[in-house]
Chains A and B, each alone.
Chain A
Amino acid sequence: MSNETILKIDNLSVSLPSRADRAFAVEEVSFELYAGEILCIVGESGSGKSMASNAVMGLLPKPHVRPVNGRIMFENQDLLTVSDAEMQKIRGGRIGMIFQEPMTALNPVMKVEDQLDEVFVSHGKYSRAERKQRIIEMLRDVGLPDPEIIGRSYPFALSGGQRQRVMIAMALALEPSVLIADEPTTALDVTTQAQILGLVKDLQEKRGMGVIFITHDFGVVAEIADRVIVMQTGRIVEQGSAEQVLNSPKHPYTQKLIAAVPHLEAVHKSAKEPTPVISVKNLQKTYGGNSGFFGGKGRVVHATRDVNFEIYKGETLGLVGESGSGKSTVGRCLIRLHDADSGQILFDGKDINSLTLKEMMPVRRHIQMIFQDPYASLNPRRKIGDIIVEGPVIHGAVKSEAMKKAGELLELVGLDPSALKRYPHEFSGGQRQRIGIARALAMDPKLLIADEAVSALDVSVQAQVLELLDEIKERLHLSMLFVTHDLRVAAKICDRIAVMRLGEIVEYGETSKVFNNPQHPYTRALLDAVPGKAWEGPQLEEPISA
């Protein structure tokens, strides 16, 4: 790594439209990018981390959000003042950029090779034959098999990981000296994320580029960063080498963020009495297949096959896996949001799966669910109070009494009872998730199913909600099925773990055993892919003070 500065941002401020919650998206931000380094910008949602990089590319959402102060110096010119034509040459030519959502970042109606070819054509590089050659080389360089076939495909035919590789090929086609990566792995599964991170690091070393890598995930930072910048509400609060920021953070905000990151070591929980609350036997569920006459033979997808597990009284069982592994389907079958094709779900001596909807009614009280998206899981047109008491009222409770209890529950989950009369849109994501928990508790359940319940939350809020769940579970002697894709979260909260892959449970056992001594190769691959697994985190004197 040299100390040659290739990009220098000097006192940059970017204004927001007048009705936004603050005046500047980015305020008085200064930093430098050196040749051959990976600079990570970390922050929670709304910290302005993406705005800074969009300003470099001149890609801010146009009329309202614009840079009002500062300079962005690149190759001896200020990018905020160069002409549009100059900027077009720099974009894609000297600075490349990749984005978060590989599913939407490629033009759906254009072949991959045509989208790559465009880069060369618009920058006036190479003859036709050379371009063809270069495209194949580029696709091969980013590790895509059969580059000829991939080139002739449309984006919809590629997986998320493959699309992100195409994006990288496109951004690096003209060998830029700077690559800006805006959360490029956030939408990907953990094993794919590991591959893409490896690829970025590899290409960066080979070409000696400077990389600005924007992320919210300290694990990713630990995996690839040379230097780190931490942003909070539009300002830089800390910057330094990766080693220094990760292991001895100075600023209290950084300390708080890092303390909130769950670590991969399984917390040892006291052995529970092994009385099963629910036992699942040979659960099968397929999708598709019956597409009617003339529809051709529908592809049958096995969402789950031969799934067996038990949840003991008072324990948290983690169901982990990547997207499409069938883990959410299992959760939803347990409360009959989906109907399983075959198998048994024994709860209180009854097979839930064979109950009619009417017979299911009394059982519903005992099994409740907490959902992933805090914005979609509360009805925006109903008051919090009505949302919480809906269940008890359906089951015959008097509304005024149910309301009183709802107020107590809100206090239990750490909210003011006055929230009863408010609408969901007045609450933040974390607060809404607490309301979702209160709603589930209003039914006095014996079993809670948490479906990716903290995945949509920022890391510091995530830590609080996890703690709340754990505390409530202990206090009310509940059992919990915790469905998640995040192994760090699973390590923190689960007593036992079932690892799912393609609809099957491949490994099932105590968390510490599964994490410390994985038996199945897939479990090992998953654990290996967790970014920043080697990073233990600093020993901070103060515990989380969120």
Chain B
Amino acid sequence: MFSFLIHRLMILIPTFIGVTLAAFAFIRVIPGDPILVMAGERGITPERHAEMMTAFGFDKPIWEQYFSYIWQLLQGDLGTSIVTKQPVLEEFAALFPATIELSICALIVATVIGIPAGIIAAVKRGSFFDHSLMTLSLTGFSMPIFWWALLLIVFFSGFLGWTPVSGRISVMFYFDSVTGFMLIDSWLSGEEGAFKSALSHLILPSIALGTIPMAVFARQTRSAMLEILNEDFIKTARAKGLSNFRVIVVHAFRNALIPVITVIGLSVGVLLAGAILTETIFSWPGIGKWMVDSIFRRDYPVVQGGLILIAGIVMIINLTVDLCYGLIDPRIRNKR
């Protein structure tokens, strides 16, 4: 298991170096003078221009620029926002909990509905339930989620008036952030109705963001289950006289978990991509909205730093998924 972990890490390091190279190249391949491009319509004085050239190190040879960039990176310095003058890492740390909160809720929605539905569809292959579920999940999979989010707003907020349209909590409430997770903070604050307000703000974004993963989980669980149910050892389990339930849950599902965990891991990338749209539509102050805003504001140090941080998170999650395989599958655990 340990050497398996080492092996995965060995692949991760060159990939991460590649990610830093890509992010480093990002500012430098923009056609034209990057400082002028970033300044945009705001304009810039020649003094400030020269100052920024030195600050970014654009006057030095390219390899020197890269190494000083890496050196800063290793010290935790991801640059400073041009617009807010705040360190990128600090902004990220302040906004990231909002994205985690939203992603986790979306993942819960997707898992709790998607996986059981996939199991039932596989077991009842060819039934009405199976066909309806497959049609529904394919529709969910084909959904333009920015449109889906708008429809949810039209129906639940506009027509029914049940849920708020944007933000994380009603402006009525104000309390200090402790964990950054609004659900926990509002509960800790003890203010009446705060938790309920936070929860009601979460519902629509979670559904919007969770729809595609839910569809993917249902389909993947179904096909993994169908494949496993065809395996010889399932026949063995039946030949032993086990109950149907035991065959499906103990023998089939545990083996089907491996591909299912893969898609759950992969869906983190999907969630973060979806968060860009969902957060923009629901004005959810997370890193997705932050990245889009920064791109529009041409705040390229933020975009650069954000790219590295997000890629780093995706890679760490993929590593965690690999470790989960080891927990489930003894064959992988014992591989060199």
Contact = CB atoms under 8 A, between A and B. Distances in A.
A364 B35 CA distance: 64
Contacts of A105: 232-233, 235-236
B238 A59 contact: yes
Contacts of B336: 291, 295-296, 298
Nearest to A122: B242
A88 B237 CA distance: 11
Contact of B331 (A96, A156, A295): A156
B228 to A, nearest CB: 10
B196 interface: no
Contacts of B10: 294
A498 B237 CA distance: 43
A29 interface: no
A91 B239 contact: yes
A487 B183 CA distance: 73
Contacts of A63: 126
A294 B13 CA distance: 13
A59 B236 CA distance: 10
Interface in B277-336: 328-331, 334, 336
Contacts of A104: 231-233
A170 B236 contact: yes
B336 to A, nearest CB: 5
Nearest to B230: A61
A122 B255 contact: no
A93 B241 contact: yes
A311 interface: no
A107 B233 contact: yes
Contacts of A101: 232
A101 B250 CA distance: 21
A184 to B, nearest CB: 12
A122 B240 contact: yes
Contact of B242 (A99, A118, A154): A118
Given A59-B239, A92-B240, A295 B7 contact: yes
Contact of A107 (B126, B239, B255, B328): B255
Given A108-B329, A109-B254, A91 B233 contact: no
A294 B238 CA distance: 43
B3 A92 contact: no
Interface in B252-269: 254-255
B235 A122 contact: no
Interface in B214-245: 231-233, 235-244
B60 interface: no
A12 interface: no
A108 to B, nearest CB: 6
A378 B109 CA distance: 49
B173 to A, nearest CB: 48
A167 interface: yes
A298 B240 CA distance: 39
Interface in A85-113: 88-93, 96-97, 99, 101, 104-110
A96 B241 CA distance: 9
Contacts of A108: 233, 255, 329-331
B241 A123 contact: yes
Contacts of A90: 241
A154 B331 contact: yes
A373 B58 CA distance: 62
B21 interface: no
Given A109-B255, A295-B3, A119 B240 contact: yes
Interface string B74-104: 0000000000000000000000000000000
Given A170-B236, A291-B336, A122 B331 contact: no
Contacts of B49: none
A57 interface: yes
Contacts of A298: 336
A42 interface: no
B6 interface: yes
A117 to B, nearest CB: 11
A157 B331 CA distance: 8
Nearest to B331: A156
Contacts of B233: 104-108
Contacts of A59: 235, 238-239
B246 interface: yes
Contacts of B3: 294-296
Given A99-B232, A99-B235, A294-B6, A109 B241 contact: no
B50 to A, nearest CB: 47
B240 A118 contact: yes
B239 A122 contact: no
A63 B126 CA distance: 10
A110 B238 CA distance: 15
A277 interface: no
A263 B311 CA distance: 66
A447 interface: no
A367 interface: no
A172 to B, nearest CB: 11
A245 interface: no
A97 B241 CA distance: 10
Contacts of B236: 99, 105-107, 167, 170
A41 interface: no
The 3 closest A-B pairs by CB, nearest first: A92-B241, A91-B241, A92-B240
Interface of A: 57, 59, 63, 84, 88-93, 96-97, 99, 101, 104-110, 118-119, 122-123, 154, 156-157, 167, 170-171, 291, 294-296, 298
18 contacts: A57-B238, A91-B238, A92-B239, A104-B231, A105-B232, A105-B236, A106-B233, A107-B233, A108-B233, A108-B330, A109-B254, A109-B328, A118-B250, A119-B240, A122-B241, A156-B334, A291-B336, A296-B336
Interface of B: 3, 6-7, 10, 126, 231-233, 235-244, 246, 250-251, 254-255, 328-331, 334, 336
Given A105-B232, A108-B233, A119-B241, 12 more contacts: A92-B240, A96-B239, A97-B239, A104-B233, A108-B331, A109-B254, A109-B255, A109-B330, A122-B243, A123-B241, A171-B239, A291-B336
